[in-house]
Amino acid sequence: MPLVSICIPTYNQTKYLRKVLDSVFEQTFTDYEVIVSDDSTTSDVKELIDEYIAQGKEIRYFHHSPALGSPENWNFAMSQAQGEYIKIMHHDDWFIKNEALEKLVMLAINNNSDFVFSASISKYENYNFERYNYPTPYELNKLYADSTLLMNCNHISTPSSTLFKKDSSIIFNKKFLWLVDVEFYINYLLKHKTITSTNEALVLITAFANHNISNSCFTNTNIKIFEQLQLFDLYSKKSKNKISLIIYIHKLFLVTKTTRLYQIRNSGYTKPIKFVFVFSILLCRCFLGFKKIFSNERK
């Protein structure tokens, strides 16, 4: 059995997938298997996989018709994994260095960690700039102490920057789309508390390209409200820092300009309205009101 299962969920694009596969097969660490779980509506991905197989590369390929959808496509790939560790690589993210996988594996083994992640570089294809992703020492210590703080900010970044021990009982929650990775991290780290990371960027992440699913989520206020409140419901009672959760809800309502209860209902949230929601709405209403008055005075 391989030590690592590299799971690559794909959908209707091969431009970046070729870069992903090339970066995988160039790794110095070779005790791995490659699983491609394909939701594509065309044969383009299969043809590309066939090209690599013809070159002698070993790839376990699965095509789904009808498509499973995200994140069920991710879950299927993980369900096929035979390795002790799982390394998810999105179909448009790739290793920056040939030693990247080796460094992640050694980080896990040397520290006896169930979950490891590295810094990453987000490349904003349509905006011509890059961003380094890694928490500050203060943020990192808080994350190690309480994974629920990921609700405030996803310091881990995408699953492509992670490596974790296989646990079939923990999968990506299909009720989430935008925060599906955050929900998985919190759930996993509440059970597996040994986490290690490196500030060395090992993975490049393609951000805000035309094919990214997150594009539609980023501009959809209802998805933001609904998923973040769902996350709050799931994990607020398990948090060690209740003040941070109040800040989390308040920040959500400020960003989405939620000043009325009906906006919560319009997002699809049907559970009872909690006191912290009402309190945060009132604070948000006051803040935005003062901001408007101040702006008018400056004019």
- Note the pLDDT tens digit of each residue in 272-288: 999 999 999 998 888 77
Nearest C-alpha neighbor of 158 from the set 100, 224, 89, 211: 89
Find the helix packing angle between 242-256 and 275-298, rounded to 10°.
50
| Mean pLDDT value across residues 138-161 | 94
d(CA 180, CA 244): 20
| Each residue's pLDDT tens digit, 179-204 | 999 999 999 999 999 999 999 999 99
Phi/psi of residue 166, nearest 5 degrees: -65, 130
> How much is the pLDDT for 206?
93
Give me the residue label for tokens 């594009």.
215
The predicted model scores a pTM of 0.92
Model pLDDT, residue 129: 86
Q: How confident is the model at residue 290 (pLDDT cuts 50, 70, 90)?
A: low
pLDDT tens by residue, 89-146: 999 999 999 999 999 999 999 999 999 999 999 998 777 889 999 999 999 999 999 9
Contact 139, 155 (CB under 8 A): yes
* Max Cα distance, the chain (Å): 71
120's enclosing H/E stretch is strand 115-124
CA distance 210 to 297: 41
Residue pLDDT, tens place only, 248-271 = 899 999 989 999 999 999 999 999
Going by the DSSP 8-state scheme, the letter that residue 238 receives in this structure is: G
Tokens of 211: 């094919």
CA-wise closest residue to 183 among 256, 243, 119, 233: 233
Domains of the chain: 4-215 (3.90.550.10), 220-298 (no CATH)
Contact 115, 156 (CB under 8 A): no
pLDDT tens-digit map of 209-249: 555 555 556 678 999 999 999 999 999 999 988 888 888 89
Which residue type sits at 175? Answer: K
The single residue listed with the structure tokens 């959760």 is 245
Per the structure block, which two tokens stand in for 232?
A: 């709050």
pLDDT in tens, 53-92: 999 999 999 999 999 998 999 999 999 999 999 999 999 9
